[in-house]
Amino acid sequence: MILPIVGYGDPVLRKVCEKVSKDYPNLNEAIQNMYDTMYNASGVGLAAPQVGLPIRIFIVDTDPFSDSDDISEEEAALLKGFKKTFINAKMISEEGEEWSFNEGCLSIPDVREDVYRNEKITIEYFDEDFNKKTEVYDGLIARVIQHEYDHIEGILFTDKISTFKKQLIKKKLQNIMEGKARPDYRMKLVTKKR
């Protein structure tokens, strides 16, 4: 089922999310709904708070990035078909050089900014079958995971840009909170539900 995506300004996006247990009600259905919602909005990642659930789950599917002309064939091969569910994730380390990439967010439509993140991460998480994993990622895969992990920590990509850039996007953020955003997917906005 396609759910409305929670818009910038909703308090759920600022919560440090709660861990979930194996017996969380309708867990598989919640995860499937997140995938349906993400694909409907042409996203590459989605965190549970973005659909109003303050729980430590996020999903990624980097396949759309594999068609980019700006990446090597090797990275394209890694991105193609990289689809994972992360439950109760814990970032173990973020290391390597910081690099910039133009990020956007389904909860903050029509806003894109360059964000600096470390190139390599080690993350511990449970998959949808509650198998515990510890994995290392780098490049665009690491970046998508870092972006989504931030969501379950109550952090948005706009928190990671300069004060000057924040001033430049202030009106756009205000428009989202006032219900003036018009993405081509359903949203649940703070002041106006559509």
Please give the Cα distance from 139 to 169 (Å, whole number): 27
Please give the Cα distance from 119 to 162 (Å, whole number): 20
Pull the structure tokens for residue 32: 């499937």
Answer yes or no: are the C-beta atoms of 161 and 113 closer than 8 Å: yes
Contacts of 52 (CB under 8 A, 6+ apart): 3, 6, 10, 12, 188
CA 171 to chain CA centroid, Å, is: 23
> Catalytic residue among 75, 103, 113, 148, which?
148
Read out DSSP for 149-167? Answer: HHHHTT--GGGGS-HHHHH
Active site residue 97: no
Pairing, β 5-6 against β 45-47: unpaired
Residues involved in catalysis: 148
